Structure 1
Amino acid sequence: MPRKPPRICGCGQLVAAGTRCACQKRHDAERKARFDKGRPSAAARGLDADWRRLRKDHLRKHPFCSRCGELALEVDHIIPRSVAPARRLDPTNLQSLCKPCHSGAKQREERRNHTR
C-alpha cells in the first residue's frame, strides 16, 4: 500500500505525512493563547451553573447524538444563543450531539444560516 512521503516544513525539518512539526504546534498554541486571552469566561458567556445543571440533566435523559446515534458529549442549542438569547435555558431548544457532529456540520450550518 503506497504511503505519502515525508515533507519538509518551513523551518527545514523533515516531517512525516499527516503530522505537524514542533514549530507548527508551537505556533498553533501561541495563536490559541492570543485568542483565549481576550475571550470572556464561560460564565460571562452565559454558561453558568444553571447551564451546567441543565446540560448534565439533558445528557442523562438524551445520551445519544440526535444526528448520527453515537454517544453524545455536547448539548447544543437548536436555535443559537446569539439569535435567541431568551431561550438559553429552554429545554425544548436543546439537542444532544457527538463531538464530530457538533464541531463540524452544526457549526457550518450556524455560520451559513444565522450570520448577523
Structure 2
Amino acid sequence: MPPRPPKPCRKPGCRKLTSEPGGFCAEHLALVEQAQIQRRRAFDQRRTGAASRGYGQRWRELREQKLRQDPLCARCGRAAQMVHHRDENPRNNSLENLASLCRDCHERLHGRLR
C-alpha cells in the first residue's frame, strides 16, 4: 500500500505537513494527547461511585453467582470475568438478563476495543 500523502496539520495556524493518521504534526500531537488526558481526569472527578450507579454489594453477590453458574464466556467460550446486562439497564438484574463474558468480548460490546 502506498504511503499516505502529507496534509496540513489540523491545528489552526500550523503550516507543517503530516502523514499521521490523526492529522496533527508531531509537535501538536503531544498537545492533543495532553488535552485528552485532562478531559479524562475531569470526567473521573465528576463521576459518581459504583454503588450509586447500581453496582453495590447486592450486584457484586449476583455477579459472583452468575460467574459460578456460567464460568465460560457466552460469545467465545473462554473463561468469563465480566457479567453483562443484555438490555444495557444496570437496574434489571434478573438472571435471564445477565450474560457471562470474557473481558475482550465485554469491551467489544461496549465499543472500547477496536
Q: Normalising by structure 1, report the TM-score.
A: 0.62
Query: 2:58 is matched by which residue type in structure 1?
Result: D
In the superposition, relative to structure 1, how do residues 75 and 37 fare at CA in structure 2: closer, same or farther (>3 Å)? Answer: same
**Cα RMSD after superposing both structures:** 2.8
Q: What is residue 86 of structure 2 aligned with on the other side?
A: 78
Distance 2:63 2:33 in 1: 32
* Match status 1:92 vs 2:100: no
Letter of the aligned partner of 1:100 in structure 2?
D
Rounded Cα–Cα distance in structure 1 between residues aligned with 2:83 and 2:105: 11
Match of 2:110 among 100, 107, 111: 107
| Matched residue SS, 1:55 | helix
Distance 2:69 2:58 in 1: 17
Q: What is the CA-CA distance between 1:27 and the residue it aligns to?
A: 4.4
Matched residue type, 2:95: P
User: Relative CO higher for 1 or 2, CA cutoff 8 Å, sep ≥ 6?
Assistant: 1
User: Which is higher, the Rg of structure 1 or of structure 2?
Assistant: 2
What are structure 1's unaligned runs of at least 5 residues? 1-6, 13-20, 109-116
Shift in Å, 1:23: 6.6
> Does structure 2 retain, via aligned residues, the 8 Å contact 1:11–1:23?
no
Q: Secondary structure at the residue paired with 1:96?
A: strand
Q: Tell me how many residue pairs correspond in the alignment.
A: 93
Q: Structure 2: how far apart are the matches of 1:57 and 1:22? A: 45
* Map 1:49-60 → 2, pairs under 5 A: 49-60=57-68
Aligned counterparts of 1:29 and 1:73: Cα–Cα separation in 2: 27
Report the CA distance shift for 1:60/1:44 in structure 2 as closer, same or farther (over 3 A).
same
